[in-house]
Amino acid sequence: MTKNNNKLLLEAQQGLTVQSVDLRGSEIYVAESFSSNTVNQFDEVDVQSRKDFLMMKYFHDGKDQAGFLALEYTFGKRVVRADQSLEEEPEVLLEIAANFSANYLIDKEAPPSKEAVQVFVEQNGLFHVWPYWREYVQSSCSRIGVPPIPVEMRPGSVSIKELKEQDAVKLPTK
């Protein structure tokens, strides 16, 4: 991380306060052939993952009122049979998917600049949501009655390109 990015990240951290991390939607699929009794019958399985930045909502009118920043992410984990040919669509045995929103209050006295918010989204936003995703996967596996699906300790970053491709991005002009 560059020195300038460190400054921008600090600016954003000082101007944003985490309000909540909310589960916005979820879906679980378990194949009939997959359960705690049959999990060991499959010779090999692969675990596939996905994480995507959905959108950013920025509400701050520039007046003497606090603003609001919401970052929305979608995550998924699925277990597929690994013993199929590469031409076949893999048989999905288990899939867990969820959307989460990280919500922040924007300091009315010192709102962060557009550049600071961009650096924050790239380097911090996902870290606030990730523990909730990990817990959701682990508790879902427990409720389903299957061994826990591993979830990485650290998430990757969201690129600034992904942010710019979102039509709903509205940042301050400061």
Q: Where are the domains of the chain?
A: 3-164
Name the residue type at position 2.
T
Given a contact cutoff of 8 angstroms between Cβ atoms, the answer to whether 78 and 48 are in contact is yes
Class of domain 3-164: alpha beta
Instruction: Please enumerate in sequence order all residues whose Cβ is within 8 A of that of 156, keeping only pairs 6 or more positions apart, or say none.
Output: 51, 126
> Tens digit of pLDDT for each residue in 108-145?
888 899 899 999 998 888 889 999 999 999 999 999 98
Q: What is the pTM (predicted TM-score) of this model?
A: 0.80
Of the two residues 150 and 95, the one the predictor is more confident about is 95
> Tens digit of pLDDT for each residue in 55-68?
988 887 666 667 89
Dihedral over Cα of 119, 125, 126, 128: its sign: positive
Of the two residues 170 and 38, the one the predictor is more confident about is 38
Q: Which of 21-35, 95-109, 153-167 is predicted least confidently?
A: 153-167
Please report the beta strands in 45-170, taking only residues with DSSP state E, as ranges in sequence order: 45-59, 67-81, 92-106
Q: What is the mean pLDDT of residues 37-64?
A: 79
pLDDT for residue 123: 84
Q: What is the mean pLDDT of residues 156-169?
A: 48
Give, in order, the Cα–Cα distances in Å from 168 to each of 83, 97, 122. Answer: 42, 23, 16
